[in-house]
Amino acid sequence: MQKIILRTENLSKTFPGVQALKNINFELYKGEIHGIVGENGAGKSTFVKILGGIHQPDTGKIYLNGEQVEIRSPRDAKRLGITLIHQEITLVPHLTVAENILLGRLPTKKLFGFISVLNYDEMYSKAEEILDRIGVNIPVTSKVKELSVGEQQIVEIARALADEAQIICMDEPTSALSPYEIERLFDVIRSLKNGNVSVIYISHHINEIFEICDRVTVFRDGEKIGTFRVSDVTPEKIITLMIGRKLSQFYAYREKSTAIWETPILEIRNLSTRPIGAKALRLEKISLKVYPGEILGIFGLMGAGKTELAKAVFGVYKIEKGEILLEGEKIDIRRPLDAKRYGIVYVPEDRLREGLVLSMPVKCNITLPCLDNLTGSILIPQELERDIAMKWVNALRIAVPHIDFRAANLSGGNKQKVVIAKWLEMKPKVIIFDEPTMGIDVGAKEEIRKIISDLALQGIGIILISSEAEEVMSLADRIVVMRNGKIIGEFDRREVTKDDLLALASGVRREVKEDTKMGG
């Protein structure tokens, strides 16, 4: 019988408007690799954030080695030997690998018997010893910024080992890695297991789970559905459990399409991008068409390149090759201002950073993009501005006491509505929605989906980017699936099932099964 290192009992957590976790009973064995899978919003990340001390549970208990513990801060977690590794790297780029691994416990020696200075020899040998333990060969004297993302992640793992971590939680560690780097990471994870460290491994990529995990737990809507030995289940079964059998209330939302299938309102041909200084392309030969009144869904997992595509079209990222056509005519977009002038607008995923000026009132946020078009004068037409703001506050039912209310004080759903409202006065031809309902409570989610569907009804071409299969299934006319910067499939939404989309996007399957595919 295996030893249980970590156990949670009835762990629950509520965020405003959302029950993120419901009575989670979870067991982690010593030295196992335990996968956690679930759709977006299933509660996976919340769960490991509680273990890592970032969130506090509302109710429930956590036992470590049989003893009840309270994890009030990341410091507590570290002291108890629990380390969280997220997508974002938390290393100091200008310091060396060795310094990063041993940061916080740098070895020192005495100079002249009383001045304490860094002992570089010991630091390097210690760091090397830790890297040896996980079987990797990264020069400990090189600076972290010179390493690849995959190597940086390995350094993070090494740092966790230096901190004597017993449990390492990894949240989507492979989203930014190349296939070779993923293999290397997996080797490291396997060696952790031999060193009796337990790993909690969160991933959307079901095939990864089956490659390295011993057991897998499925989360859905904040609940634990079940834990299985991977040898006892199939990937298809796991996907079915993730989605659940109950069909959503949104599912049949838009039964009739309003698209006019003549000239595409927006066409992208062979678009490629490359991050500055990078060798590999980020997006590779993306081609797609959006028709007036159509909602084109773009589905893919985190890191598939969906946001990059949206930002390239909106003029934020430089396009290396490829063409963009608006109503059949080639256009040149170099910055968001150009895109706006052509009537192509973007509702960003990161609305706090890219969508809103939190220090300004709702009114000013709504009219910010359209001010230049209101009058030729340099003055702001005060009354017109109020009218416009009022019009959209009412039309989108934004809940604010008054339009001079600071945007910072709005709820998530209302913030998103303001970001949408600010584009509508411009009468855009194409709207790109990037994860429009992420992090928004259920009621507001439905309202925002209704807004999107109404906008399509007005003949606007809509690109809906989402990593929620349910969202694209319920709204889009056609669905494009992206993976690793490429389009790997395009479907009429009646041709595919949610299982197909997830299986394709996560790399479990390469094609839609023939029996589910009907003629287009």
Partner 1 sequence: MPSRESKDIREQLRIYVLALYSKEEFKPFVALIGIILVSSILSPYYLTIYNWRTILAQASPYIILAIGETLIILMGSIDLSPGSVLALSGAVTASCIMLLGLPVWLSVLIGLAIGGILGLINGIMVTKAKIPSFVATLAMLAAARGLTLIITGGRPISGLPDEFTRLAGFVYNIPVPFLITLIVLFFTTFLLKYTKIGRYVYAIGGNEEAARFSGINVDAVKIVIFTLSGILYGLAGIIIAARLASAYPQAGVGYELDAIASSVLGGVQLIGGLGSPIGALIGTLILITITNILILLNVNPYYQFVVKGFVLALAATTLTRGLRYTK
The binding site for partner 1 (CB under 8 A) comprises 314, 316, 335-337, 339-341, 345-346, 348, 353-360, 364, 368-369, 371-372, 378-380, 382, 422
Q: Is the dihedral of CA 214, 220, 222, 227 positive or negative?
A: negative
Least distance from C-beta 324 to partner 1, angstroms?
A: 16
Of the pair 226, 275, the CB lying nearest partner 1 is at 275
Between 326 and 504, CB nearer to partner 1: 326
DSSP string, 293-361: T-EEEEE--TTSSHHHHHHHHTTSSPP-EEEEEETTEEE---SHHHHHHHTEEEE-S-IIIII--TTSB
Which tokens in the block code for residue 442? 């259920």
The region, left, alpha or beta by phi > 0 then psi within -120 to 50, assigned to residue 57 is beta
| Residue placing its CB nearer to partner 1 in the complex, 311 or 509 | 311
Query: Residue 224 in contact with residue 26, Cβ under 8 Å?
Result: yes
Minimum separation from the CB atom of position 188 to partner 1 (A): 33
User: Would you state the structure tokens that stand for residue 374, as one six-digit string?
Assistant: 């209101």
Q: How far is the CB of 349 from partner 1 (least distance, A)?
A: 11
For the chain, state the CA radius of gyration.
Answer: 25
Q: Which is nearer to partner 1, 89 or 360 (CB)?
A: 360
What minimum distance in Å lies between the beta carbon of 383 and partner 1? 12
Task: Tell me how far, at minimum, the Cβ of 360 lies from partner 1, in Å.
Answer: 6
Nearest residue (CB) to partner 1, 197 versus 438: 438
Q: Which is nearer to partner 1, 341 or 427 (CB)?
A: 341
Contact 417/393 with Cβ under 8 angstroms?
A: no
From the CB of 451, what's the least distance to partner 1, in Å? Answer: 19
Strand order in the sheet with 321-326: 283-290, 266-273, 321-326, 329-331
Nearer to partner 1, 281 or 352 (CB): 352
Annotate 65-100 with three-state secondary structure.
CCEEECCCCHHHHHHCCEEEECCCCCCCCCCEHHHH
Cα–Cα distance measured from residue 42 to residue 220, given in angstroms and rounded to the nearest whole number: 5
* Closest CB to partner 1 among residues 98, 339: 339
Minimum distance of partner 1 from residue 475's CB (angstroms)? 23
CB of 406 to partner 1, least distance (A): 9
Could you tell me the smallest distance in angstroms from the CB atom of residue 412 to partner 1? 16
Cα–Cα distance list, 258 to 278, 326, 435, 454, 512 (Å): 41, 19, 22, 10, 26
- Catalogue the E-assigned strands of 106-260: 108-111, 115-118, 167-171, 198-202, 215-220, 223-229
Measured from the CB atom, the residue of 351 and 478 that comes closer to partner 1 is 351
